[in-house]
Amino acid sequence: MLDRQEHHVLSSYFAPRGQKRMYMLGMQLAQLYLSPFDKLIGVIGEAGSGKSALIRGMFPGLELTNDDDGVYVRPLPLLDRGSRVQFFSPHTYHVDIRFENGFTQMSVLADAITEALQAGKRVIVEHFDLVYPFLGFNANLLIGAGEQVLIARPNLFGPAPSEIRDAVYNSLPYRLMAHTAEDLCEYLMPPEDLARCDHDDVKHGFIISFPDPKPTFDIAELERKVNEMIAANLPITYVDSNHVAIGDATHPCTGPRIHVSSTGLIKNFHLLNHFIYDRFSKKYLLVGCVGDDAEKTLQTLDAQQMKSDFSM
C-alpha cells in the first residue's frame, strides 16, 4: 500500500453526478490513495462540481466550514486555533479559500495553514490553486473535480495545482450538460421505466440502464422531445437536496446542484438510436452524449460494444 502511494502520480475517475455516488467515490479514493502522513490535501474545482460531497466521503465526520446551503462556520476554526485549549483542538481543519479570501488576506490564510501543519494538524483546502502561490509548497495530495475526478500525488516535477485546475475547469461544462440532459430524459420517459432505472457515466455523456424487460419507448421520439425542451431554454433551479426544478416542474434528482442554469445551454444532445444489451449486468443501456463530438462518441461506443459482443 505504501509502495503504491509513493509511486502514484495521477489517476482519473468518472465523476458521478449523484451525491451518494460521490460519497462512495470519496470513500474509495481515501482507501486507495490517502496516507496517515498526508497533512495537506488540496481540492480544486468549480462550484457545483461536487467537491463537498467528495470531501465528506473521504473524511467522514469532518466539520466543513461551508455547506451547500450557504452556511459558513464562524469564527473560522483554522484562524481561531490560538484561542482554543490545545488538548481539545481538532486534528483536521477545513477551509474554503475562495470564500475566506473575501474576508481575510491570502497571506494570512497561507500563514494559518502553515502554522497548523507545523503543529501536526491536517488541513483540507478547497480552491487550493488560489493559495498555492502564497504557500510556496504543494499539497501532499491534489484532488480535482470536473467531468472526471483527478487525484495526484505531486513530486518535484508536478503536477502543479494549475494543471489540475485547467483540466477540471475545462471539462466541467460537459458534466453539467450531460447531467441536465439525463434528467430531461428521465422527466420525459414512462414513469414505470423511470422507477426501475439505474445510472452510469461515459465521457461527455450518461448511461441509463434497465433490467428485463427491455423498455418499449421510442428512443428517437424521446430524443426529439428532449431537444424541444432544450430549444425552449427552460430554467434549471435547485429545489432541495433531492429535487430540481425544470421550468415550473419539480423533478427528483440526487445531484441537484450539478446542472447548467438553463436547458438552452446543452449543446448537441443525441441519444444512441438503440438500446445496448450488457451481458455482464444483464441490463439494457440507453446512452446519451453532448458536445461537438456527441454523434462520433456514440458511434465509437456502439462499435466498441459490437466488437466486444463478437469476441465473446
For 195-217, write each residue's pLDDT tens digit.
Answer: 999 998 888 999 999 999 999 99
Distances (CA, A) of 183 to 208, 218, 234: 10, 17, 13
Q: What is the pLDDT of residue 291?
A: 94
Mean pLDDT computed over 106-128:
95
Give tens-digit pLDDT for 1-38: 455 566 688 899 988 877 888 999 999 999 999 999 99
CATH topology of domain 2-159: Rossmann fold (3.40.50)
DSSP assignments along the chain, one per residue: -HHHHHH--EEEEE--SSHHHHHHHHHHHHHHH--TT--EEEEE--TTSSHHHHHHHHSTT---SB-TTS-B-SS-GGGGGGGS-GGGS-SEEEEEHHHHTTTS-HHHHHHHHHHHHHTT-EEEEETHHHHHHHH-S--SEEEEESSEEEEE--BTTB--HHHHHHHHHHHHHHHHHHHHHHHHHHHHS-HHHHTT-EEEEETTEEEEEEPSSPP-S-HHHHHHHHHHHHHTT-BEEEEETTEEEETTEEEE-S-TTSS-SBGGG--S-EE-SSPEEETTTTEEEEEEE-STTHHHHHHHHHHHHHHHHHH-
45-99 residue pLDDT tens = 998 888 989 999 999 988 888 765 556 677 888 887 665 555 557 789 999 999 8
Q: What is the mean pLDDT of residues 288-309?
A: 87
- Per-residue pLDDT reduced to its tens digit, 225-241: 999 999 999 999 999 98
Indicate the CATH number of 173-311 among 3.20.20.140, 3.40.47.10, 3.30.980.10, 1.20.1440.230: 3.30.980.10
pLDDT tens-place string over residues 245-259? 999 999 999 889 899
Burial 70-95 (b: 16+ CB within 10 A, else e): eeeeeebbbbebeeeeeeebeebbbb
Mean of pLDDT over the chain: 90
Question: In the prediction, which pLDDT does 83 show?
Answer: 55
**Every domain range in the chain assigned CATH 3.40.50:** 2-159
Every domain of the chain with CATH number 3.30.980.10 lies at: 173-311
In this prediction, residue 154 carries a pLDDT of 93
* pLDDT (tens digit per residue) in 148-183: 999 999 988 889 999 999 999 999 999 999 999 999
